[in-house]
Amino acid sequence: MMWPRVRGTLIALLLLCCVVEAIPVPALRERHLNRSLAREEAERWVGILEPFGVHTTSSELLGQALTVSQEVRAVRAIVLGPWRTFSRQLKLAQSWGLFAYSDPHPGRLVLEGRAKDGAWDILFRAPNSGDERIGKVVFNRRMRGVWDDAGDRPKPGRLYSRWVTWVAKEVFEIRPDIDVVRVRFDRLSVSMDGPGTTANEVPSHRRERYREDYR
């Protein structure tokens, strides 16, 4: 008779921890709020709140969001302390987004190759145009996690450079006619004002690798 009670108590505690952890309090830092997505969103909220008599500015709004986020997170950290000691070891978590933040400025991965005659050719352009063999490797969900996390961000880190070196090696193996590989992200500006208003793509994070360096 004892075990069902113990089990019921453990399950109640487990569910409590999971629900508290799942409460969507964004882990905001100032750098997040400096991003164009956050600034644009704040500007739009200022416009929406104005007719309801709430007079504020986008910087005030972002400042309040940061303060509330920090305070709530501090309380949650205290409540979840013991649970997180366990859950971090097993990488268990309850932070789910399912595309909660649609990014109107995503990057499009583009791989170019320069043939021996000096002409540049687009080898792969996300999501699916170009060499199918390159697309399959690059778009494996785990591999995409690497370049999407490390490269498609304001300042790509060292992992991005290592990834570029690796993907260029793959391309050199698949395409013996290519001497130079160029990797870049073309920054899109998807307009929220509706279709047909997307701006031109702006290239960023351009890196080049040379076949001779792999010999």
CB 104 within 8 A of CB 39: no
Distance between CA atoms of 43 and 163, rounded to whole angstroms?
36
Closer to another protein by CB, 96 or 119: give it: 96
Q: Closest approach of Cβ 143 to another protein, in Å?
A: 6
Q: What's CA 209's distance to the chain center, in Å? A: 25
Closer to another protein by CB, 117 or 128: give it: 128
- Alpha-carbon torsion (50, 53, 58, 64), positive or negative: negative
Q: Closest approach of Cβ 119 to another protein, in Å?
A: 24
Distance between CA atoms of 179 and 98, rounded to whole angstroms?
40
Q: Closest approach of Cβ 208 to another protein, in Å?
A: 19
Applying CB under 8 A, the residues found at the interface with another protein are 4-5, 7-8, 11-12, 14-15, 18-19, 22-24, 26, 41, 44-45, 48, 89-104, 106-109, 126-128, 136-137, 139-146, 148-150, 152, 158-159, 162-163, 166, 188, 190, 192-196, 198
Q: Closest approach of Cβ 31 to another protein, in Å?
A: 18
Which residue type is seen at 30?
Answer: E
| Residues constituting the chain | 215
Distance between CA atoms of 17 and 82, rounded to whole angstroms?
10
Distance between CA atoms of 38 and 69, rounded to whole angstroms?
14
Closer to another protein by CB, 97 or 118: give it: 97
Closer to another protein by CB, 45 or 179: give it: 45
Q: Closest approach of Cβ 148 to another protein, in Å?
A: 5
